[in-house]
């Protein structure tokens, strides 16, 4: 996880260190599409079986006015299974896969800085608490976040809560994305 945050920090520092003009507003009545990579730390019940994860997302964004955008986001998250008994065994928990599908809103505060909120569903592709019938959970997702947008780059941090059925958990995530107008 340290390597993920180090790479993200270097990328952010290089972007802030260049003479890039920040995009302070979302163009009204225009669509943008972005592809992002996500690094995250599991929280809640997921922390007992995983200590790091990575994912990828695609986001469609529509500018409602100069300071507000609507978002549709989908992708895949993988929380890597950790050792069951570190130092004693090589036995590992299985990785947990989640397909998030979310809708949200992004409000620009000033000079590229924004606050965001998303709601949606997370479809587990593998349930670490395997059931005899093989069924998997669908979770309610609530995700507040904040970030900074450049012309083609978006860097955002958020907490994503997954709730429902037998186990509730979350992730603290960092997303770096490249976007362009459609």
What values do phi and psi take at 132, rounded to 5? -60, -35
Q: Which of 98, 116, 96, 97 is nearest to 106 (CA)?
A: 116
CA 122 to CA 104: how far, in whole Å? 14
Query: What would the pLDDT profile of 30-46 be if each residue is shown by its tens digit?
Result: 999 999 999 999 999 88
Region class of 124: left (phi > 0), else alpha (psi between -120 and 50), else beta? beta
Region class of 45: left (phi > 0), else alpha (psi between -120 and 50), else beta? alpha
Q: Which residue has the tokens 């000033």?
A: 110
Residue 84 has which token pair?
A: 């069951």
CA 159 to CA 104: how far, in whole Å? 14
CA 161 to CA 102: how far, in whole Å? 12
Q: Which residue has the tokens 């130092």?
A: 87
Residue 5 has pLDDT above 60, yes or no: no
Q: What is the pLDDT of residue 130?
A: 59
Structural domain of 88 = 2-181
Confidence of residue 21 (pLDDT cuts 50, 70, 90): very low
Q: Which residue has the tokens 């069951």?
A: 84
Q: What is the pLDDT of residue 102?
A: 98
How many domains does the chain contain in total?
A: 1
User: Coil, strand or helix: which one is 28?
Assistant: coil
Query: What would the pLDDT profile of 62-120 be if each residue is shown by its tens digit?
Result: 999 989 999 999 999 999 999 887 777 788 888 999 999 999 999 999 888 999 999 99
Q: What is the CATH number of the domain that holds 148?
A: 2.40.160.20
Query: What would the pLDDT profile of 154-175 be if each residue is shown by its tens digit?
Result: 999 999 999 987 778 999 999 9
Residue 169 has which token pair?
A: 């958990």
């Amino acid at each position: 996880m340290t390597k993920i945050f180090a790479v993200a920090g270097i990328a952010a520092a290089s972007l802030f260190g260049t003479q890039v003009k920040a995009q302070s507003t979302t163009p009204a009545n225009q669509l943008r599409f972005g592809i992002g990579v996500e690094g995250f730390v599991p929280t809640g019940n997921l922390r007992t079986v995983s200590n790091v994860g990575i994912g990828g997302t695609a986001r469609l964004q529509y500018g409602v006015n100069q300071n507000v955008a609507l978002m549709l986001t989908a992708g895949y998250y993988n929380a890597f299974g950790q050792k069951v008994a570190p130092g004693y065994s090589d036995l590992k928990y299985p990785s947990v896969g989640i397909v998030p599908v979310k809708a949200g809103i992004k409000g620009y505060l000033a000079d590229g800085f924004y606050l965001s909120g998303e709601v949606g569903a997370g479809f587990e592709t593998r349930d670490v608490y395997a059931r005899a019938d093989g069924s998997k959970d669908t979770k309610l997702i609530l995700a507040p976040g904040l970030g900074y947008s450049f012309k083609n780059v978006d860097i955002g941090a958020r907490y994503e809560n997954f709730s429902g059925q037998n186990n509730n958990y979350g992730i603290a995530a960092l997303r770096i994305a490249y976007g362009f107008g459609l």
